[in-house]
Structure 1
Amino acid sequence: MTLDDDIHNYYEHLILERIQTLGLDKTKSSNYLADLCCLALNQVPPRYIRFEVDMSFYLPQNERQQMEMNVADAIDKAKKFLDQKSE
């Protein structure tokens, strides 16, 4: 078993999903996106899983919505921070 292949933080998936929804992956550099991911992930609690399907079937809808709101807030804060630093 290798941890990096078998276990990951589910919030990573949600952060990347939010970045794509906002279209940031099309307008920002890879360095900006990497910094954005790190800053946002440091604001949310880790949620480690082995398989994506586990979260799809066993996560209550209200908990999923809360996680998505946490991600949206974390991305907004991280984006503001990065955008202010570049001014």
Structure 2
Amino acid sequence: MNPSFESIHNIHEAAVIETVLALQGDYPAVAPDLLPDVACVALNRLPPRYIRHSVDLAFYQDEKEREELARLQQSTVRLAFEFVQARRAMRARV
């Protein structure tokens, strides 16, 4: 029997998607269909960290680490919005 690898995920995925959705109002020039692009840019800029169960992360991280990770995710998503917005503006001029 082959093991299932479906439970493995990057710890940043859910938080980045949640942050993209929360911040989309701050970037009206970024169309809703570009929000997945924003998430991809942000995820590619964050260091990958994979876990199998979310409870593992809660168990191994202290409050300071969680706060630092949340700040990093938020700032990275803002940079990703700015990147996608700038690329869209550049393409509109061509």
Tell me which stretches of 4 or more aligned residues in structure 1 moved more than 3 Å. Answer: none
Tell me how many residue pairs correspond in the alignment: 83
Q: Does the 8 A contact of 2:10 with 2:50 survive in 1?
A: yes
Deviation at 1:77, TM superposition (A): 0.8
SS at 1:45 equivalent:
coil
The two structures have a TM-score, normalised by structure 1, of: 0.80
SS at 2:45 equivalent:
coil
CA RMSD of superposed structures (Å)? 1.8
| Partner of residue 64, structure 1 | 66
Once the two structures are superposed, the pairs formed by residues 1-87 of structure 1 within 5 Å of their partners are 1-3=3-5, 5-23=6-24, 28-30=31-33, 32-87=34-89
Find the aligned partners of 1:49 and 1:17 in 2 and give their Cα distance: 18
**Percent identity of equivalent pairs:** 31
Query: Any gaps of 5 or more consecutive residues in structure 1?
Result: none
Find the aligned partners of 1:18 and 1:80 in 2 and give their Cα distance: 14
Given the superposition, is the C-alpha separation of residues 17 and 56 from structure 1 closer, same or farther in structure 2, using an over 3 Å criterion?
A: farther
Query: Any gaps of 5 or more consecutive residues in structure 2?
Result: 90-94
Specify the code of the residue in structure 1 equivalent to 2:58: S
The two structures have a TM-score, normalised by structure 2, of: 0.75
